[in-house]
Structure 1
Amino acid sequence: MSTYTQHLSHLQTRAELALARCGFDAMLIASGVEKFAFLDDRPYIFAPNPHFKHWLPLVNHPDSWLLIRPGHKPRLVYYQPDDYWHVPPADPTGEWVPLVELILIGKPEDAAAHLQVPGRLAIIGEADAALPGLTPNNPQNLLNLLHYQRAYKSEYELDQMRAASRRAAPAHRAARDAFLAGASELEIHRAYLAACGHTDRDLPYSNIVALNEHGAVLHYQYQDAVAPAQSRSLLIDAGAQVNGYASDITRSWSAGDGAFDALLAHMEAAQLALVDEVRAGVDYRDIHLSTHRLVAAILQDLGVVKMSVEAQLEARVTSTFFPHGIGHLIGLQVHDVGGFMADEQGGVSAKPEGHPYLRLTRPLDEGMVVTIEPGLYFIPTLLRKLQATPIAASVDWTLVEHLSRFGGVRIEDDVVCRAAGSPPENLTRDAFAALAGLPRPDVKQS
């Protein structure tokens, strides 16, 4: 039995149990509809309902539906219009086809006739996916069950995520090479797309391509077409997608500077140590707090802040330099759902006090996939606030001014939590290592 067949069987069993527990007879899942800009006929890039692509590797299929019933094959109502304005979905092919009851339709409204089944229906989707008599109700108790369990990846899902990492790794290498050649942010972005075979519409999220000071903007959203007079550093946060599953990788590069290279080396060592903390039974919040301790040690070792680690943590100095969370769940969505869930009933597991941006607060377990992405930045607005406190006297502002020209450092890997006692699987490092005979792009090259 293939990993996909096992995956589909597992989803069917999970769905049947969830429906029974929540008092529903069947579940309808809308793929979603194409959306248009206000007062325009220009569509936004289609993003499928993640519940839909959990079952099927179909990511460009608006107006399609899944019907899930106990004891039945999944019924797929597959929208395939006869359209000469746009390319319609291809004829259904792939391993999934014989595993579903397939119904082709040419008009979105035709789906309703194939989804009307007796009993109480759970309808999962956005409001605009509604059909006559079929309005999404998104029952929270059912969603809680599905979202909590989605953190545990099947072997099929892990295969897709490994492939997404392998797709992104050579693109990161191409981006690095473009940076070292003096390319602009836009040119680096284009080099990345060409190397991974994506277009902007295929990416799992918009690439962050930040040269120099732009690396201090955590979600830098632009790509300058003109290269700076001097390219000192590159921070690139970019992933890839395979069958609806994402990779999320960040690398930081130096054009050569002693102080910044030292920071890169310290962050590389810290990131690998944090990856090793991804173990079954570990509270992810503890990894986040461990990151602050490591960042404090780096600030102390490099002479940026002349305070002990404990003193920095007590005064929350590290939040100036590392203001985001250490990472998140990843899978069907880059920031996958269920990160704050304490249980299947929807209870919330709180963030540590003073750490509002952490996206995952659950204990880790076998099959979970998380990102580990420590950062250390020189963000003007946060530095100004620090400068206005008594702690300012303990900061080497000359060194801060110098390092600010490089923006900051972030290093991010996608990591699988394995069984108790086993080390984690690093999807990102494995993908880079697979580029045989080439220098590893996760180590600073001068």
Structure 2
Amino acid sequence: MTDPNTASLYARHIEVLQARARIALERGGFEHLVVPSGNPHYQVFDDRDYPYAVNPQFKAWVPLTRNPGSWLVVTPGRRPKLIYLQPRDYWHVVPEAPVGWWVEHFDVAVVRTAEEAIPHLPPAARCAILGEPQGVRAEYAPNNPAAVVAYLEYHRAFKTPYEIAMMREASRIGAHAHRAAEAAFRHGLSEFDIHLAYCAAARQDANDLPYGNIVALNEHGAVLHYTQLDREAPAASRSFLIDAGASYAGYACDITRTYSARDDDFQAMVDAVDAAQQRMCAQVRSGVDYRRIHLDAHLALAGILRDHGVLKVSAEAAVESGVSSTFFPHGVGHGIGLQVHDVAGFAAADAGTATLAKPDGHPYLRLTRTIAPGMVVTIEPGIYFIDMLLDDLRAGPNAASVDWARVAAFRPYGGIRIEDDVVCTESEPLNLTREAFARP
């Protein structure tokens, strides 16, 4: 990213993180915040490691995602220290020495072994150590104090301008790759080949992406987390649902689009969901209870099903009876940032002692907080024709609410999901996804 403002945005970002760390340490009664970057995990009974995933608490501070064995030390009133592992190793690529616009904000100590890092760490008894224990010396095993973690995770919902800039770049990459995936679908490629086209356009492989791509043709769109990726193309590709993101400097985007192969009834329903989704995105404003957006989404989607002949009852009746949940069984979205499903989605406050309940009958909603400026959320309504849920509905007391012939007509298309990443601001919402797709 070449934006000249990045360095100044990052400087302010570090100031915000230092202020949060100071309060979090006071809450927990500690003097130092110590964050290991994490280490590879090895598969059981094997010498192969799982793909390395950096500790989110580490990459919140530094744009480093491929540096296992490193440490961050934050002490209020001092410059943070980065203990950077640059091992002597001829089996693997050795990380280059840290360089760039962000380095000046840290005291950097380069070490060659894990043991060399220990003298650079403060006494463990006075440290809040955030991470997981694999590969860490026993005395520095993470203690993850609840008060410290709760405070930091709660406030991570409020993104700094630097973080928004990183997510904007991730969205740009994701939108570009989505266009390539749609083109591959239009050319009749298989799910696996569409996935490869996406990765090639994003210039990210499966381990770089923030989550496993969902690339679903036809009925597979009814599987909410479909990752099977058939190697052979179907005889006829009727529909295409892709839920795929991209990463940039440790931050994620999360984008879903759905297409029909023809200008037919299914495409008309896709267009209706897309229009409703944009109205939901417009609700991402300060003071709005996210649960309200979720419940409004049920009403809007039930109205679409009614308009397209699937439901025989009113939208209000479908929501009241729970019929709408057969067709929209997941939550309308979640927080996003350093993690695709960002943390503290149910926290009532930064003490971590109380949570905000999900609406009755809606167990899969991942965010129940009131939206405030700086929060970034996904909005991802969907309509699906899932055999298991449809069978339950047909066998129950509300079977007459549905025109089953219309269900049979839409079932071969699987389902619809449209998802954008939206920033709450002091005024109009900022839709990072639509902004990215609007670029040439």
Match of 1:396 in 2: 403
Deviation at 1:133, TM superposition (A): 2.1
1:383 aligns with 2:390: yes
Residue deviations 1:281-325, cap 9 Å, x none?
000000000000001111111110100122111111000000000
1:204 aligns with 2:207: no
1:63 counterpart (69, 89, 102): 69
Aligned structure 1 segments of 4 or more residues deviating by more than 2 angstroms: 116-119
Query: Which SS does the other structure have where 1:294 is aligned?
Result: helix
Query: Which SS does the other structure have where 1:252 is aligned?
Result: strand
Amino acid at match of 1:10: V
Deviation at 1:163, TM superposition (A): 0.1
Deviation at 1:391, TM superposition (A): 2.0
1:326 counterpart (332, 336, 353): 332
Match of 1:352 in 2: 359
1:183 counterpart (156, 169, 189): 189
Amino acid at match of 2:337: G
1:266 aligns with 2:272: yes
Residue deviations 1:50-83, cap 9 Å, x none?
0000000000011110111011111111011111
1:219 counterpart (200, 215, 225): 225
Matches within 5 A, 1:270-349: 270-346=276-352, 347-349=354-356
Deviation at 1:390, TM superposition (A): 3.0
Q: Is the 8 Å Cα contact of residues 252 and 411 (structure 1) preserved in structure 2?
A: yes
Residue deviations 1:25-54, cap 9 Å, x none?
111001101111111111111111100000
1:431 counterpart (423, 428, 436): 436
Q: Is the 8 Å Cα contact of residues 28 and 67 (structure 1) preserved in structure 2?
A: yes
**Higher deviation after alignment, 390-399 or 348-357:** 390-399
Supply the RMSD in Å over aligned alpha carbons.
Answer: 1.1
Match of 1:42 in 2: 48
Matches within 5 A, 1:71-150: 71-117=77-123, 120-150=126-156
Amino acid at match of 1:199: D
**Higher deviation after alignment, 93-102 or 325-334:** 93-102
1:30 counterpart (25, 36, 39): 36
Match of 1:440 in 2: none
Q: Closer, same or farther in 2 for the Cα pair 1:118/1:372, shift >3 Å?
A: closer
Residue deviations 1:149-202, cap 9 Å, x none?
000000000000000000111110010010011000011001101111111110
How far apart, in 2, do the equivalents of 1:148 and 1:172 lie? 31
Query: Which SS does the other structure have where 1:94 is aligned?
Result: coil
Q: Is the 8 Å Cα contact of residues 415 and 427 (structure 1) preserved in structure 2?
A: yes
How far apart, in 2, do the equivalents of 1:71 and 1:119 lie? 19
1:405 counterpart (380, 393, 412): 412
How far apart, in 2, do the equivalents of 1:8 and 1:394 lie? 55
How far apart, in 2, do the equivalents of 1:18 and 1:129 lie? 26
Amino acid at match of 1:275: C
Deviation at 1:257, TM superposition (A): 4.8
Query: Which SS does the other structure have where 1:339 is aligned?
Result: coil
Query: Which SS does the other structure have where 1:405 is aligned?
Result: helix
Amino acid at match of 1:33: N
Q: Is the 8 Å Cα contact of residues 165 and 240 (structure 1) preserved in structure 2?
A: yes
Name structure 2 gaps, 5 residues minimum: 1-6
Name structure 1 gaps, 5 residues minimum: 436-446
Match of 1:443 in 2: none
Query: Which SS does the other structure have where 1:300 is aligned?
Result: helix
How far apart, in 2, do the equivalents of 1:108 and 1:305 lie? 62
Q: Give the length in aligned residue pairs.
A: 433
Query: Which SS does the other structure have where 1:362 is aligned?
Result: coil
**Higher deviation after alignment, 315-324 or 383-392:** 383-392
Q: Is the 8 Å Cα contact of residues 243 and 256 (structure 2) preserved in structure 1?
A: yes
Query: Which SS does the other structure have where 2:139 is aligned?
Result: coil
Give identity over the alignment, percent.
54
TM-score using structure 1 length: 0.95
Deviation at 1:118, TM superposition (A): 7.8
Deviation at 1:393, TM superposition (A): 2.1
Deviation at 1:20, TM superposition (A): 1.8
Deviation at 1:116, TM superposition (A): 2.9
TM-score using structure 2 length: 0.97
Q: Is the 8 Å Cα contact of residues 124 and 140 (structure 2) preserved in structure 1?
A: no
Q: Closer, same or farther in 2 for the Cα pair 1:79/1:219, shift >3 Å?
A: same
Match of 1:15 in 2: 21
Residue deviations 1:392-443, cap 9 Å, x none?
2231111111111000000000000011xx11000000000012xxxxxxxx
Deviation at 1:21, TM superposition (A): 2.6
Q: Is the 8 Å Cα contact of residues 26 and 119 (structure 1) preserved in structure 2?
A: no
Query: Which SS does the other structure have where 1:133 is aligned?
Result: helix
Residue deviations 1:77-123, cap 9 Å, x none?
10111111111212211112121111111111221111034862111
How far apart, in 2, do the equivalents of 1:132 and 1:104 lie? 22
Match of 2:198 in 1: 192
Residue deviations 1:255-280, cap 9 Å, x none?
01522012111101110110011000
How far apart, in 2, do the equivalents of 1:401 and 1:372 lie? 28
Match of 1:370 in 2: 377
Match of 1:439 in 2: none
How far apart, in 2, do the equivalents of 1:110 and 1:329 lie? 38
Amino acid at match of 1:434: R
Query: Which SS does the other structure have where 2:367 is aligned?
Result: coil
Deviation at 1:254, TM superposition (A): 0.8
